[in-house]
Structure 1
């Protein structure tokens, strides 16, 4: 896993304060385009933080419904210098146009959420888990996320995601993109065969429908964020059996769905 120093760079900058400019340096988050080839065909270019390209590529393909089973992943070749990732899979992968357009809607006026594109619905089912977590555990985990977020502390330009049990961080990733950070979690779990039913995803960014769908595909029962969820993400989480916790910071939190999983 790349360290925080690989994701930042120092640049010259002019600072203005109290009516005058001074010259100096500032630490800025790095951004890199990475092209993913799937079965020798150019598939997509992802803009991301350098490092963890294997996890990112696999997690992205899982999110897009291209990779559903570990045995379908034949090989991964990473070329860091040229920013290329080549993935070979068994079978006929989803065509590229499946993930270029997507949306989900509330249907029939009944508040249920329906999927419009196959890559969103593929691999999504109701999450069943008896997991319980106490508010004090949530605050501990969000504090750990903040302590680990070195790139954000240095630059203010990164998102972070951590896969956790109730009492510890299993692993952690930072990236300029909040979707990328979660995809790296997804890819690591897929590659290492990590079970989800007793896990929590702790996240720095807004919980949108896209993030919620990734969590649902992994089968993680609880997502916690220091930020807010969207209305449609909350509706989707309620339908799919996922507990959504927002604004978890400074000894407070907001519990939006499936409250029974959060109790002292």
Structure 2
């Protein structure tokens, strides 16, 4: 896109493109999301799971994407009708139009996360690998990234204009691939808000890491659920505010190199 720099010179800069995507569950319109447009199947299924509109035992019979009409339809064997649920949705602190429905907390309170460990050597490996991976964030900014990991290995990386969309893609990927989550780690560039914590717990992932900071309610919910929460995770440093018993410090941080400044994802003002 053409722009002008501080001296009035014409320049070309990369800009993230966002577009609407309207989600239907069977015959009912659920929501219109602003998204970068990739992986609509994962985004749609993850959104429905995180809003408790899909159950873990639901059978999806079809996912239909129409790029021209900018819509995606998820069809299930079970008959669904969420008119009343849609009336009681509440906004959260997520970017754009992230929402959490009133009965999500009822499910949240029943979830018990698995025992797990998280080695600091894994953290340093993941930090280096994720920060060096090609991404829209490094190219254009104005975007959030979420990574599903196992030990020191990034498994899949999704980006979107809102962190709620990126985490929904992770949830949809897990469901459609039939993955176990007890040994997984969730790494995000976004703030550790109540919404991020709730969705991570609902996915059954015991470790959540962010390059950004925390909200007080996010920390309270993580402690209630027994979620290990690492924030401000940049270079060799991180802060643990919940679930510290899972941390195995098998590397001396003094021996770890600081990261290259050009790879400091999530540190730009206004992009947490």
TM-score by length of 2: 0.83
- Please say which of residues 83-92 and 41-50 is displaced more in the overlay: 83-92
- Determine which of 69, 79, 85 is the counterpart of 1:82: 69
Deviation, 1:134, is 1.5
| Matched length | 241
Correspondence list, 1:173-188, <5 A: 173-188=158-173
- Determine which of 165, 183, 187 is the counterpart of 1:198: 183
Cα 1:94–1:149 shift into 2, 3 Å: farther
Deviation, 1:116, is 8.0
RMSD: 2.0
User: Matches of 1:73 and 1:184 in 2, distance apart?
Assistant: 16
Q: Which residue of 1 aligns with 2:255?
A: none
Matched residue SS, 1:247: strand
* Structure 2 gap ranges (5+): 93-99, 250-272
Correspondence list, 1:121-140, <5 A: 121-122=106-107, 125-140=110-125
Deviation, 1:96, is 4.2
1:101 aligns with 2:68: no
1:160 aligns with 2:148: no
- Determine which of 66, 91, 113 is the counterpart of 2:78: 91
Kept in 1, the 8 Å contact 2:185–2:205? The answer is yes
Kept in 1, the 8 Å contact 2:113–2:205? The answer is no
Deviation, 1:70, is 4.5
Kept in 2, the 8 Å contact 1:77–1:87? The answer is yes
User: Matches of 1:191 and 1:198 in 2, distance apart?
Assistant: 18
Cα 1:175–1:228 shift into 2, 3 Å: same
User: Matches of 2:79 and 2:63 in 1, distance apart?
Assistant: 17
User: Matches of 1:226 and 1:38 in 2, distance apart?
Assistant: 34
Q: Which residue of 2 aligns with 1:171?
A: 156
TM-score by length of 1: 0.85
Matched residue SS, 2:2: strand
Q: Which residue of 2 aligns with 1:45?
A: 32
Deviation, 1:81, is 2.7
User: Matches of 1:123 and 1:91 in 2, distance apart?
Assistant: 23
Deviation, 1:180, is 0.6
Deviation, 1:121, is 3.1
Kept in 1, the 8 Å contact 2:193–2:218? The answer is yes
Kept in 1, the 8 Å contact 2:46–2:169? The answer is yes
User: Matches of 1:226 and 1:101 in 2, distance apart?
Assistant: 29
Kept in 2, the 8 Å contact 1:149–1:174? The answer is no
- Please say which of residues 125-134 and 199-208 is displaced more in the overlay: 125-134
* Structure 1 gap ranges (5+): 1-10, 105-114
User: Matches of 1:94 and 1:223 in 2, distance apart?
Assistant: 33
- Determine which of 114, 130, 148 is the counterpart of 2:133: 148
Kept in 1, the 8 Å contact 2:116–2:246? The answer is yes
Deviation, 1:124, is 5.6
